[in-house]
Structure 1
Amino acid sequence: MKKKFAFILMGKDYFEKDNATFKTENCVTYICTVRSFEEAYKKVLELKEEGVGAIEVCGAFGKERAEKIIELTDNKVAVGYVVHDPKQDDLFMKFFGN
């Protein structure tokens, strides 16, 4: 059985068509896009049902929302979230800010 992994990106300009799936001999990787936390939580439940064993979320989620995802999956899916070195906060604010 292939391992299934997903990465969830959130952004206001994404649509469901902005997704990708990569398949290798041993793994299926899903790149999923969502426009809100509510969409993300719904997608997480779909991914859990599909047998995804690990989900990584973008930095917009942070620790608290990653913990919410752990709860949604009944702590049965490995959940990680992206972080960056605080020394680069200004660069991230410049890039992602308005």
Structure 2
Amino acid sequence: MKFAFLIMGDFQPKDRAAIHNGAAQIIGVTNLTEACEVAKQLYENGVACIELCGAFGESGAKEIIHATKNKIPIGYITHLPEQDTIYQSAFSK
């Protein structure tokens, strides 16, 4: 199964990596619009599952689901509420 992980932040289009002959990919995107385009391309190229970094949140995940026509599983990373302060500190730098 082909799998992709999208991470959103200060990335360039070349910020991609793959292992297992491309079966697993990590792709950096700068915003939700770019992520939707990348997800659509991944789906059209046979990727069977996409996981999203926590920056997407539920609303971003729904946009990716729409971009991929709700045909493949889309998940997004979350964390436990007791770590909110730690996450805010780590990602505000």
Structure 1's consecutive aligned runs of 4 or more residues displaced over 2 angstroms after TM superposition are none
Higher-helix-fraction structure: 2
Q: Which residue pairs with 2:68 in the alignment?
A: 73
Distance 2:32 2:66 in 1: 14
Is 1:45 paired with 2:36?
no
Tell which structure's C-alpha radius of gyration is larger.
1
Encode CA deviations 1:36-89: one digit per residue, 9 max, x unaligned.
Answer: 111101100110111101000000111111011111111111100000011001
Distance 1:41 1:72 in 2: 6
Aligned positions, number: 93
Q: CA deviation at 1:10?
A: 0.6
Q: Is the 8 A contact 2:5 2:50 kept in 1?
A: yes
Is 1:9 paired with 2:14?
no
Q: Which residue pairs with 1:90 in the alignment?
A: 85
Q: TM-score, normalised by structure 1?
A: 0.89
Identity value in percent: 40
